[in-house]
């Protein structure tokens, strides 16, 4: 069968909503796109632990500390689910981690922003996880089976992340003047970077068309971003806070919120490595990886020793 025929059959499967599984034939570009997207997604979960880890030791109460630890632990788990999904496409964990640590692979730019106050933990949960969830809910229906299954698992766990974030901000919004100011300040700083999480505008996104056709993505960047704006613009009323966009206004005709223009220069600068914390994040990942090397080696040596002992007992 020619490759052309195989590609036609492949597209027919996708069109019929049949999931693609690891051992099925797939075009090279489909495999590569999935490896790139899933591993980037995994890296984002892993690097995403850093801004929140910053506040574990300084959480204002034992309850908040326990919640934050649980959330960070979830992110590690999500990274693992996704790395495993990417591995089914033939890449290896070592390769992916090398690519992250060397700076070759990308992760979500949002994690290159610093978490400056406790209120940032609430804003990250509500806005950053909120934006992530919209993307992830869509990905539960992505065409690659292992990716979709990982996303279903992740979505089940992620909902608590957003709710705890909103609840945490709700408490601050009813607190002292200082706490209210802290809440508003965190929202001001995280709003625009959260909007950037959906990626470039549809008119400038290079990967979108083919990904839509292959049903890797099922909504465009701009559609998801609009969903997010509509959702948050309503939720913020309950906090009694405002979003830092003077152009934000309900459009009765479109039944959507209109909003101001994102600072795309900032977006590209952060993507290209010039965000506030890019270097710090990569340095932290590299340090953890290097300092954990002896643990990984020791575990293998111990496993080998135990196995040798067992074999000699049998013999």
Partner 1 sequence: MNIKIRKYLYGDIPEENAGGTDLKKTADIAQNNPDAWPLWEVFIRSKQGLDHKHAGSLHAADAAMAIENARDVYTRRQEGVSLWVVESKYIHASNPDDAESFYTPAEDKIYRHPGFYDLPDEVKHM
- Residues 110-149, interacting with partner 1 (CB under 8 A): 146, 149
- Residues 208-227, interacting with partner 1 (CB under 8 A): none
Pick one of 52, 75, 87, 120: the residue that binds partner 1 (CB under 8 A).
Answer: 87
Contact of 229 with 261, CB cutoff 8 Å: no
Tokens of 88: 């089914």
Smallest separation, CB 48 to partner 1 (Å) = 16
Tokens of 313: 């007992």
Pick one of 9, 18, 76, 238: the residue that binds partner 1 (CB under 8 A).
Answer: 76
Region binding partner 1 by CB under 8 A among candidate stretches 28-36, 42-50, 114-122, 249-257: 28-36
Compute the distance between CA of residue 150 and CA of residue 78 in angstroms, rounded to an integer.
8
Query: Is position 58 an interface residue for partner 1 (rule: CB under 8 A)?
Result: no
Contact of 203 with 157, CB cutoff 8 Å: no
Compute the distance between CA of residue 284 and CA of residue 20 in angstroms, rounded to an integer.
36
Query: Is position 28 an interface residue for partner 1 (rule: CB under 8 A)?
Result: yes
Angle between helices 177-196 and 129-139 (to 10 degrees): 40
Tokens of 121: 């933990």
Smallest separation, CB 297 to partner 1 (Å) = 5
Region binding partner 1 by CB under 8 A among candidate stretches 9-17, 18-26, 52-60, 174-182: 18-26
Tokens of 212: 């839509």
Coil/strand/helix, residue 250: strand
Binding site for partner 1 (CB under 8 A): 1, 6, 21-25, 28, 31-32, 35, 70, 73-74, 76-77, 80-81, 84, 87-95, 98, 146, 149-150, 153, 157, 296-297, 299-300, 302-303, 306-307
């Amino acid at each position: 069968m020619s490759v052309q025929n195989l590609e036609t059959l492949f597209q027919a499967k996708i069109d019929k909503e049949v999931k693609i599984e690891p051992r099925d034939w797939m075009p090279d570009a489909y495999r590569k796109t999935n490896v790139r997207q899933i591993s980037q997604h995994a890296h984002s979960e892993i690097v995403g632990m850093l801004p929140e880890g910053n506040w574990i030791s300084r959480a204002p109460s034992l309850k908040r500390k326990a919640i934050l630890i649980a959330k960070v632990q979830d992110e590690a788990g999500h990274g693992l689910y996704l790395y495993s999904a990417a591995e089914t496409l033939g890449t290896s964990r070592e390769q992916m981690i090398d690519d992250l640590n060397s700076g070759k692979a990308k992760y979500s730019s949002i994690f290159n922003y610093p978490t400056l106050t406790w209120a940032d933990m609430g804003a990250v949960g509500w806005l950053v996880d909120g934006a992530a969830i919209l993307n992830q809910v869509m990905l539960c229906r992505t065409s690659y089976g292992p990716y979709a299954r990982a996303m279903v698992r992740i979505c089940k766990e992620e909902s608590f992340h957003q709710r705890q974030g909103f609840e945490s901000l709700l408490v601050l919004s009813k607190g002292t003047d200082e706490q209210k100011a802290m809440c508003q300040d965190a929202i001001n700083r995280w709003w625009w970077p959260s909007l950037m999480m959906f990626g470039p505008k549809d008119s400038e996104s290079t990967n979108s068309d083919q990904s839509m056709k292959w049903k890797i993505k099922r909504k465009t960047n701009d559609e998801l971003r609009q969903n997010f704006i509509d959702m948050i613009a309503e939720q913020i009323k309950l906090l009694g806070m405002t979003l830092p966009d003077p152009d934000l206004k309900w459009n009765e005709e479109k039944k959507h919120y209109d909003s101001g223009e994102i600072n795309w220069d900032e977006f590209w600068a952060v993507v290209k490595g010039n965000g506030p914390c890019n270097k710090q994040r990569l340095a932290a990942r590299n340090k953890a990886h290097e300092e954990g090397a002896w643990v990984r080696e020791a575990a293998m040596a111990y496993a080998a020793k135990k196995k040798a002992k067992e074999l000699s007992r049998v013999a």
